[in-house]
Amino acid sequence: MGERKLERTIPYNLESSIGGRGVREDDEFILEALQEKKKMYRLKRFRYLIKTSKEFSFDSTSGELNLPVFDKEFHAFELVLIKHFCSTAYDERSRYLFRSLGQTPFRINGILSFEAFVERGDTIDIGYNRLHFPKPQPKIKLVTEENVLTDEMIRSSLNVMIEGETGTGKTTLARKVHEESRRQGNFVHLNLSSFSPGLIESELFGHVKGAFTGAVTEKKGAILEAHKGTLFLDEIDSLTMELQTKLLLFLDNQEFRAVGGNSPVQSNVRLIFASGTPLKTLVIEGKMRRDFYYRLTSGIVMGLDNLRSHPEKIQEFCLEFERKQFCVLSEELLKFYVQCPWPGNYRQLSSHLHKKKILSGGKKLVLDHSDYSLKEDTNVIGQAYNEWKTLEEIKVDYCATVFDKSEKNISRASRILDISPNTLKAMLVKSRGEEIVEIDV
């Protein structure tokens, strides 16, 4: 039988690696060399030469990396920055290419290859050595207008309380805090509102075998699962008074008893709480103990703003979506989105944009009937968040909606509304801040 020949292949082309996926200059990579501790390096050079040898060494000045192997044959590879239609290394189209300099392939995400454009999240194996290119996590900067979440805060043992409406990014922020805190344990996310009050105690503290009907085995509990890590308790506002008391005891001394257990257990865990309702409101309404409130707010307290209060963030998010998804939003569509209430905040906006891109069937996204329903919830959302609208504001919003659904025909919309075209144009000026110059006949 003839020897199987491996063809030189490129799993990813350059275009597929553009838009935040491809590894570029100043990204980091994690090296797991044979019998060596994990080390992280930052890509600063145009070319790195990777060779196999008997011992590990890395010269960051020359970019020469020696990886230990067991066999006597030595092989060479290179990680080189490819510049595509650009003049600088920092251009969006500059990407690193990993390739073999001989007849020996490497494995990228388990697939044998001779050369491949490297994307963020990829893993390259050379013998028993591994290079991992993690997806970069954005640094946490300004979270509220008053507070800055510094590196010292993130890496401290202080508990964190996050307040914000649904979809404002509470879970994302909690996960980022854990990842940048360098804690060794796991990140455990427990949404308290998804459990009945009778099960929350067991989910939190665990239970011993036979503690109650149905407890046929022992359960560890989220607090122990997150030992030396971070426990994210989402929807803390749904916790009953009784469970607030039991959790308060753990917050005081880091000790707890499993359901049905006799002896106390200790756990070194950092707690991050999240609430969609302001905690002060819960205290006033008698739904939260005052001592529990003081304990939750004794650490770092962060507030995530909604999109309605910051229209400029809607525009920023849309422009970032354009960059990552290789599409363009029309000016008309962008202005429309800035005026929408977005009760689901970033989660709703992101979902709508992805749906819009799929339905459009192209790269140009324009305003159409699939967008108009976004504004129809304005009055309901305003009541839900105690942001009452005046009668005049409701009239203005309604006139703008009818105008949009009438294919932007002033004559037709004014007949439906039973008002004059000039009155309608005045309403549109109030709604959109610009004058409608077309005169329909």
Predicted confidence (pLDDT) per residue in 10-45, tens digit: 566 665 555 557 888 888 888 988 888 888 888 888
- Specify if 340 maps to a domain: yes
Output 48-55 pairs: Cβ under 8 A, ≥24 positions apart: 48/78, 48/79, 48/80, 49/76, 49/77, 49/78, 50/76, 50/77, 50/78, 50/79, 50/126, 51/75, 51/76, 51/77, 52/76, 52/126, 52/127
Query: Which residues are registered as beta bridge partners of 32?
Result: 130
- Specify if 399 maps to a domain: yes
Return the axis-axis angle of helices 331-339 and 369-376, rounded to nearest 10°.
Answer: 20
Q: Are 307 and 345 in contact (CB under 8 A)?
A: yes
- Specify if 243 maps to a domain: yes
The 3-state DSSP class for residue 392 equals helix
Tell me what percent of the residues of the chain surpass a pLDDT of 70: 83
Residues 159 and 279 in one domain: yes
CATH assignment of the domain containing 124 = 2.60.200.20
Residue 32: both structure tokens together: 């797991």
> Mapped to the 3 state alphabet, what secondary structure does 118-129 carry?
CECCCEEEECCE
Output 26-32 pairs: Cβ under 8 A, ≥24 positions apart: 26/90, 27/120, 27/133, 27/136, 28/133, 28/134, 28/136, 29/131, 29/132, 29/133, 29/134, 30/131, 30/132, 30/133, 30/134, 31/58, 31/65, 31/129, 31/130, 31/131, 32/129, 32/130, 32/131, 32/132
CATH assignment of the domain containing 264 = 3.40.50.300
Q: Which residue has the higher pLDDT, 392 or 85?
A: 392
Residues 187 and 128 in one domain: no
Residues 164 and 296 in one domain: yes
Helix H or strand E segment including 266 = strand 265-266
The pLDDT tens digits for 315-342 are 888 988 887 787 888 888 998 898 888 8
- Specify if 288 maps to a domain: yes
Mean pLDDT is lowest, of 211-215, 353-357, 381-385, 399-403, for 381-385
Query: Which residues are registered as beta bridge partners of 132?
Result: 30, 123
Q: Which residue has the higher pLDDT, 16 or 65?
A: 65
This prediction has a pTM of 0.57
Residues 371 and 419 in one domain: yes
Residue 383: both structure tokens together: 């009541």
Strand ranges for 60-203 from DSSP E: 64-68, 76-82, 95-100, 106-108, 111-113, 115-117, 123-126, 129-132, 160-163, 187-191
- Specify if 49 maps to a domain: yes
Residues 111 and 33 in one domain: yes
Answer with the one of 76, 103, 132 that is the final residue of a domain: 132
Answer with the one of 252, 284, 303 that is the final residue of a domain: 303
Q: What is the mean pLDDT of residues 153-177?
A: 89
The pLDDT value recorded for residue 50 is 92
- Specify if 356 maps to a domain: yes
Residues 298 and 207 in one domain: yes
- Specify if 6 maps to a domain: no
The pLDDT value recorded for residue 93 is 58
Cα 182 from chain centre: 18
Residues 275 and 163 in one domain: yes
The pLDDT value recorded for residue 252 is 87
Residues 374 and 420 in one domain: yes
Q: How far apart are CA 116 and CA 80, in angstroms?
A: 11
Place of tokens 């920023």: 316
Q: Which residues contact 14 (CB under 8 A, 6 or more apart)?
A: 22, 82, 84, 93, 95, 117
Count how many domains the chain has: 3
Q: How far apart are CA 168 and CA 346, in angstroms?
A: 6
Distance between first and last Cα of the chain: 82
The pLDDT value recorded for residue 286 is 92
The pLDDT value recorded for residue 142 is 38
Band of residue 284 on the pLDDT scale cut at 50, 70, 90: very high
Residues 160 and 189 in one domain: yes
Q: Which residues contact 413 (CB under 8 A, 6 or more apart)?
A: 399, 402, 403, 406, 424
- Specify if 424 maps to a domain: yes
The pLDDT value recorded for residue 374 is 82
Handedness of CA 204, 209, 210, 213 (dihedral sign): positive
Residue 85: both structure tokens together: 């239609």
Residues 42 and 67 in one domain: yes
Answer with the one of 303, 335, 366 that is the final residue of a domain: 303
Domain that holds residue 50: 15-132
The pLDDT value recorded for residue 432 is 66
**Angle subtended at Cα 113 by Cα 108 and Cα 114, rounded to the nearest 5 degrees:** 120
Looking at every residue in the chain, the average pLDDT score rounds to 81
Residues 105 and 158 in one domain: no
